[in-house]
Amino acid sequence: MSDERAGAPTGRVGAPVRTQGPDRDSATLKDRSRPGRRSYSLPPLDVPEASVPAEHARAQRAGLPEVAERDLVTHYTRLSQRNYGVDTGFYPLGSCSMKYNPKVAENAAQLAGFQRAHPNQPDHTVQGSLELLWRLERALCEVTGMSRATLQPPAGACGELTGLLIMRAHHERQGRQRRRVAIPDSSHGTNPASVRLAGFEAMKVPSDARGLVDVGALEKLVGEDVVGLMLTNPNTLGLFEEEIQRITEVVHEIGGLVYYDGANLNAILGRCRPGDMGFDIVHINTHKTFATPHGGGGPGAGPVGVTEELVPYLPVPRVERADDGTFRLESVAPDSIGRMHGFLGNFGVLVRAYAYVFLHGRDGLKEVAERAVLNANYLAERVKDAFPLEHPDGRPMHEFVATARRLKEETGIRAMDVAKRVIDLGYHPSTVYFPLVVEEAMMVEPTETETMESLDAFAEALLRAHRDAHEDPELLHEAPVTTPVRRLDEARAARRLTLRW
C-alpha cells in the first residue's frame, strides 16, 4: 500500500518509524554469525595460565554468535530504528506517563563517581551517594506527605509488595491475623498480583456511576479481616476520588491501612499529598512522575514512603545521618520486613530522579501537574465528539479514558483498529482495553511536555481515524501498513512457541 493510501503525513511531529535501506530484513545476530569472526579484544594474559579443575570444566564452547563489531553496530542500530520512543514522538500511553526524559539526568547518572561506585564499598567512601539518597528520600517524603521512605524497590510492583509486607508486619505486630485487601475493580493488574504474593486475598471494590469508589459498598465490604485498601488517586479513570477522606476513614475505622499506588502522582504534584488524604503507605514510580527513562520496559524505581507509625517496618539497609553530618547504611532494625533488592535498588535511576526533582523544585513540580492536567483536558475536549469520555460528568486530571464503544456499534471498528490506524498516521497510540471495566477503552495520557501543536495534530489523527472508520474502514482493518511489520499473529506465537533461535 502506498504512503498516499496510508495517509501518512510527512515531515510532521511524530513521523512513523522508518528506516532507509533494507528495513524488512529480519535477520537475527545469529544469522549474521560466521565462524571465526569476532568483536572482542583483551590484552594478552600477563600472568601464568591457570585452569579450573577438570571436573568443573566446560566441555564445549557456548553457542553464541560470532560477529565483527561492525556487524554488531549495524544490527542493533537497525533494531533501534525499528522502535518508537518518547524521543521519536508523541507517546500518549495512558497510565505510563511517557514524558520527555531530560538529557542532563543521563549525564548525571554517568558521572564516574556514581556509575563506577561498587555496592560493597564501605560507607565512608560513598558519602556522596548516601547523601544523594538521603536528600531524595526527604524530597519524596515532602512531595507525598510521608515520614520516611525506602528507595530500594526497583519498580512500582516491587513497591506494592513492599507496602503490603509492611501492612502484614504491622498487623502481626498488633496480634491480628487479617487476610483480605480491598482493591477497586478498575485497578492495575499489579495490585491483585502483589496482594497474592504478600499472602493475602484481593477483594474487589465496585465503582459507582461516576467512576469513583462506591463508598457505601466499601463500608459494607470492609470488616475485621481486612488488611487495608489499595488505591490510586486520581484513579485509573483519571478522576479524583472526591470522597477520599471518607474512604481512608472507613478503612482506618476497622484498623486497616490505606495504600497509595503512585501510578498517577503526576496529576497532583504540589496540589495535594497522599499523606494529607489519609494514606499510610505510598509508592512512587520514578519512571512515570520523575521522568526517568522507561528503558524499553525498565529499569524503573519504586520508592515507598510510610507514616511515622510504620517506619520500623521499612526495609533495610536504610540511609541514616549521624549528628556529625556523615551518612551510613543501617541494617539493624528488628521490626524491618528485611531486604527487597540485592543492593540499594536501582541507584542509577534514583540519580536521574534526583536530577529531575531538584531541577524543577517546588514551583516547577507544581507546574508539571498543572500542565499535565491542562494537556489532558484540552485533548479530551478536542476528541470528545468522536470518542466520548467514559464518565463525561467528571473532570479528568492528567489522563482521560474515552471509549470507542459507539464507533464499534456504528461501524464494527474497535479501539485496537483505531490504535493501529493512529500508528499509520504517525503516532504511538494510547493504551487500549484498560481499565478492564471500560468497554473499548482508550486511555490517553499526553503528559505535560507536549506542545499544543502536537496535541492538535494527535487530535486530528484520532478524528481522521474516526472519519476513516465510516468512510474507508479498510484503512483501519489493514493498519498498520507503514511499520516494519504489520499486525502480528499473537495466537501463533503462543501456540508454536519459538522463544529462542
Partner 1 sequence: MRFAPHTDDDVARMLEAIGLPSVDRLFEQIPEAVRLRGELDLPEGVSEMEILADLKALAARNRSTEDLVCFAGGGAYDHYVPAVVWALAGRSEFYTSYTPYQPELSQGVLQALFEYQSMICDLTGLEVSNASLYDGATALAEAVNLARSTPGRDRVLVSAGVDPRYVETLETYGRGAGYRPETFAVADGRGGEPDVGDDVACVIVQHPNAYGLLEPARELFGIAQDGGARTIQVFDPLSLGVLAPPRDLRTDIAVAEGQVLGNHLNHGGPYLGVIATRLDDVRRLPGRIVGETLDVDGRTGYVLTLQAREQHIRREKATSNICTNQTLMAIAATVYLGWLGPEGLEELGRQCASKAAYAAERLTEVSGVELLFGDAPFFKEFPLRLPRPAADARDALIERGFLPGIALPDADGHALLVAVTERRTREEIDGLAMALKEVLA
Closest CA to 137 of 125, 123, 124, 147: 147
Q: How many CB atoms lie within 10 A of CB 68?
A: 13
Per CB under 8 A, the list member of 128, 216, 392, 412 interacting with partner 1 is: 128
* Residue ranges in 225-264 that form contacts with partner 1 under rule CB under 8 A: 239-240, 242, 244-245
- Burial (CB count <10 Å: 0-12, 13-18, 19+), residue 137: buried
CA–CA dist 93, 155 (Å, integer): 18
Cα 319 vs. chain centroid, distance in angstroms? 25
> Given candidates 5, 173, 196, 321, which one binds partner 1 under the rule CB under 8 A?
196
- Cell representation of residue 131: 547523601
Q: Which residues contact 82 (CB under 8 A, 6 or more apart)?
A: 17, 19, 23, 484
Q: Which one of the spans 7-15, 218-226, 361-369, 404-412 is the region binding partner 1 (CB under 8 A)?
A: 361-369
5 is a site residue for partner 1 (CB under 8 A): no
Scan for cell 563506577, then name that residue: 116
* Owner of C-alpha cell 496529576: 267
Provide the minimum distance between the beta carbon of 159 and partner 1 in the complex, in angstroms, as a whole number. Answer: 10
Put the strands of the sheet holding 148-150 in their side by side order. 148-150, 304-306, 281-283, 257-260, 226-231, 180-184, 201-205
Selected binder of partner 1 within 48, 175, 325, 334 (CB under 8 A)? 48
- Of 4, 323, 342, 385, the residue at the interface with partner 1 (CB under 8 A) is 342
Q: Does 222 help bind partner 1 (rule: CB under 8 A)? A: no
- In whole angstroms, the minimum distance from the beta carbon of 142 to partner 1 comes to 5
For the bound state, the minimum distance from the C-beta of residue 214 to partner 1, rounded and expressed in Å, comes to 17
Least separation in angstroms between residue 402's CB and partner 1 is: 15
Q: Residue 241: which of 217, 274, 266 has the closest Cα?
A: 274
The minimum distance between CB 469 and partner 1, in angstroms, equals 19
- Note whether 131 binds partner 1 by CB under 8 A: yes
Give, as ranges, the residues between 386 and 415 that touch partner 1 (CB under 8 A).
394-395, 397
Q: Rounded distance, CA 284 to CA 305, Å?
A: 8
Binding mask 162-191 for partner 1 (x = CB under 8 A): --xx--xx------------------xxx-
Site string for partner 1, 468-487 (x = CB under 8 A): ------------x--xxxxx
Contacting partner 1 within 259-298 (CB under 8 A): 268, 270-273, 276-277, 285, 287, 291, 293-298
- Residues of span 62-121 touching partner 1 by CB under 8 A: 62-67, 69, 72-73, 75-77, 79-88, 91, 93, 96, 98-102, 104, 106-109, 111-121
Evaluate whether 233 touches 277 at the Cβ level (below 8 Å): yes
